[in-house]
Amino acid sequence: MKQLLLSAAVAALTLSSLPASAQPAAPNGPSATQADPFLWLEDIEGEKALDWARAENARSLPVLQGDPRYQGLFDNALKIITAQDRIPMAGFAGVGDKELRNYWQDKDHVRGIWRRTTMDSYRTATPAWETILDLDALSEAEGKNWVWKGSSCLPPDDRYCLVSLSDGGKDAVTVREYDTVEKRFVEGGFVAPEGKQNISWLDKDTLMIARDWGPGTMTKSSYPFVLGLWKRGQPLDGVKEIFRGTEDDISVSGYALRDPSGAIQAVFINRAVSFFESETYALIGGKPVKLPFPLKSSVQSLVEGRLVLTLDEDWGAQDLKQGDLVSLDLKALLADPAKAKAELVRRPTSRQSIQTVTNTANTLVVEVNDNVTGVVYAYRPGNDGWSKQKLNLPANSSLGIVSVGSQTDQVLASAANFLNPTTLWLANGGAPQQIKAAPAKFDADGMVIQQFEATSKDGTKVPYFIVHRKDIKLDGSNPTLQYAYGGFQVSMNPSYSGTIGKLWLERGGVYVLANIRGGGEFGPAWHQAGLKENRQRVYDDFFAVSEDLIARKITSPRRLGIMGGSNGGLLMGVALTQRPDLYNAVVIQVPLFDMQRYTVMGGAGASWAGEYGDGTKQEEWAYIGKYSPYQNIKPGQKYPEVYIETSTKDDRVHPGHARKAAAKLQSLGYKVLYYENIDGGHAASANLNETAMRVALEYSYLSRRLMD
């Protein structure tokens, strides 16, 4: 599927990936001197730790599932999640972009089916879909709990695809070559066993592959740093090495830049030296040559010979600024990298950011965040620079670039906000046409969306959205759920959620989305303001929004609950330990919690030191220790009863964080509800039934704490 770029949901969990360790690694810093009575809970598949998790499930699930509202919440969540009338978001594929491919899950296909149709059929109310691969049938036939992790197909016909399958939802995947015409795995084709690996096509018989080649080939973050060329029929141990990073890097990967015909124009190698810094190399004459790009920059597209980059730092040598979108002539760059001249394509304002950059055959397609709402532009290169055209898509909405044609100029874009279901638009050089609209999943009549600003501790204005009924009383009595993420330059934009609407808003709840620092709503500077020693600003922003809600008498601490996952789960832990006076409900999803050991626990922790710092280093623990939730759980506090959830199979954020948080709170006499899904990966669910259960458990808890 070509450049399928689905927009993130409100509850997105978006940290990077890596494998989990069965035995906790020994720290080499301050944590070595501090006894941790719950260290044994880091043994992910250990019998004692799993027995503890099962016992916690057996204690907590009857409480939440025994609530008289649970079954109704579950039924509504399952109906919404498995609904047949959802828009089947699809990506262009095949010669001339004549196919549309889609991965689909519903009540009859809880693991999902990969399928295709034509554009003419897709535009109808009931497209005629042809199944390419049935994951439910494959799982049953092979005795596996396969979870779909995507496909990468060889242009221009996209017949042969590398299909990534995860056992139980882990980030580690098995990659297998699939023939979409014969609809079967290729006999004797490429098969890469389970692992964290970066694989891409060069040609029908050659892949670029980085994976675990044995001792000394994986970074401390557990990503591969040795890249090779894999020829068809060649055993993995015969792969020819073409590039090697170091174990202190994050990862190494390779990719080809192609023209609309599928012909390779350049082969690049990305060496991620930290989570936010990368070196880019071009293979010239078979040898890697380092290109003179800033470390904090990202290659985005190739359009008519113009290489397009985004900058997350100033490029002084080119007089370009942080946040800029720029281009270079690819041929000139490869001929003499040191003399290549970059050209400005777009410079966002202080309240804008570049969100998504991709390209059709002839145009650059750019999604811009403008005060947390979306605008999409099509740019064309010319002799006098780049011309632009704004696509006439719905205003005051979150916009997403769903897919673009690589051999045509077709663009599929989505639009939605909190109260208006998603619509799908097709642009092909002219005015966009709406081709699909999702039906409403809850009654939004009489509801409104407002955007306010809170003032953070240092005076920064922090925007937030609030969704509620028009007629709410401003007396502090409204059950309110506040959500945020605040990290890794991930923007939290308004989006339509049938489950939030049906299970919360329709029942009288108020929903709040806070655009705190650490995210990408206003570009790289908004993110970088909350890095490392400045992390407390992120939390102060979140508290400021809570205090503003209370000051406006929208809610009160008795009726205010919060929810967040992954990095947002860390945010929840900080809120619990620093400001328990503000909240009566805290939903902590697949969290980071022990920031002293997060880099050595397993999962992807070591790769995030660029975001937080490293708690095993004394000088960095000096500031991390002030907010790390696990170490700051204290006796005698007025913590509300919390709900913590995680997944045993999460090889991104180690489940030991959630386990140890629950155990320590309980040891000090605090009430905790805990659920650990034995499958599910970082999404804490491996299929749609599990997703519905997770959502119903969350809203049962919120109802008990905030509505009763």
684 sits in the region (left: phi over 0; alpha: psi -120 to 50; else beta) called left
Residue found under tokens 């396969």: 146
Query: Residue 18 corresponds to which tokens in the numbers above?
Result: 């890596």
Catalytic residue among 139, 406, 682, 685: 682
Collect contacts of 105-112 with beta carbons under 8 A, ≥24 apart: 105/687, 105/688, 106/82, 106/688, 107/78, 107/82, 107/688, 109/134, 109/135, 109/136, 110/82, 110/136, 110/687, 110/688, 110/689, 111/135, 111/136, 111/139, 111/146, 111/147, 111/148, 111/687, 112/136, 112/148
Is 566 one of the catalytic residues? yes
Measure the CA dihedral 503/146/570/674, to 10°: 60
682 has catalytic annotation: yes
CA–CA distance, 461 with 147 (Å, rounded to integer): 41
Contact 456, 445 (CB under 8 A): no
Q: How many CB atoms are located within 10 Å of the residue 593 CB?
A: 31
Q: From residue 295, how far is each of 95, 227, 262, 329 by CA, in Å?
A: 36, 20, 29, 19
Q: Which of 7, 397, 566, 647 is catalytic?
A: 566
Q: Residue written as tokens 């494998």?
A: 19
Q: What is the DSSP string of 407-439?
A: SS--EEEEEE-SSS--EEEEESSSS-EEEEEPP
Radius of gyration in angstroms for the set of CA atoms belonging to the chain, rounded to a whole number: 25
Which residue in 681, 677, 679, 678 sits closest to 694, CA to CA? 677
CB 358 within 8 A of CB 301: yes
User: How many angstroms separate the CA atoms of 671 and 642, rounded?
Assistant: 7
Q: How many CB atoms lie within 10 A of CB 217?
A: 16
Beta-bridge mates of residue 376? 367
Active site residues: 566, 682
